[in-house]
Homo-oligomer: A and B are copies of this chain.
C-alpha cells in the first residue's frame, strides 16, 4: 500500500489528555480524538481540550461528534469552552453530543448566556447505561456505548469500521467477461456460472476486503469482566489504569482500575494493543504502570499526551 492510500484510510487515535481528576504539570485530563477515515470523533473533553486540539493542529471544524463517558469534571469541563470557540469561529454546523442526559442541564445556563451568539446547533443524544447500544452509524463506521463500572453512570465506547464487501479482481472481470448484473451477487459471495456452464468459485474472482478495524475506550471503570465480550479482539483498547497494583484496595474503593486490572482485561479480551491512561497525580512516572501491565499483557503502552496511535489497514 502506498502512502497515498494510507492517508486515505486513517484509523488513528490521538491522546489529548491522559491524567485523572487532579491537575498535573505534564498531562491534561481525559480527551482524545479518533480519526476513522476522516471522521474526527472527540472522546471526552476535559479542561484544556481546545488548547490541545490547537497544539495537535486538529481543525475545530472537523469535529462533529463528541462522546462524553460520564459527568466527573475531568471528563467534560472543557466542553463549554470548546462550544464557545466553535461559536467564536462562526461554525454553522450540527454538533452531536453523546452523553449522560444530565449534561445538557449542567451547561444550559452557560449556553443561554451565549445564546445570542450561538451559531452551532447542538444535538444531545442521551446515553443508555443499562446495555450495549448502537449510538452512531454511517456507511463505513459504527459506534456503540456500553456500561462500565464506576461511581456514577459511565459509558465505554466501541468504534468499528463496517465490514466491506470483497473486491472483484480486475483480471477476473476481463477473463470471465463478468456481466455488470452479476457484480452484486459475486460481491455478496456467489460463484459465477460462465456461458459455457463452467462454475468459477467466488474466491477465484475476489480479493478479501480489509479486516474492519476497531477501538474501545474504557474509562473510568473498575475491573469489570462483562465488558470483555463487547471489546473482544479490538485492535486498540484504551483502558484506565488510575493506580498501580500496590493501591488495589483504594482502586476498588474508588471504582478505578490498576495497571494489572487493565492488562488482565486486555488479555482476556484478546485485544491487539492496550493503551493505559488516567494516571493518578500521585505518580510522576507512567513507566511504572507500563511495566506492571506488560508483565501480563506485553503489547501495552502508557498513554502520552500528544501521541498518535495508528491502526494500519490489513489490505
A residues lining the B interface (CB < 8 Å): 21-25, 28, 47-48, 50-51, 53-55, 71, 73, 77-78, 80-81, 84-85, 88-89, 102, 105-110, 113-114
Contact = CB atoms under 8 A, between A and B. Distances in A.
- Copies of this chain present in the complex amount to 2
B109 A113 contact: no
Nearest to A25: B55
Contacts of A108: 109
A85 B22 contact: yes
A80 B77 contact: yes
Given A71-B113, A105-B109, A51 B48 contact: yes
> Can you list the 9 inter-chain pairs with the closest CB atoms, starting with the nearest?
A73-B84, A47-B81, A23-B50, A77-B81, A25-B55, A106-B109, A23-B51, A48-B48, A23-B54
A202 B185 CA distance: 108
Nearest to A71: B113
Nearest to A28: B51
B22 A88 contact: yes
Contacts of A105: 109
A50 to B, nearest CB: 5
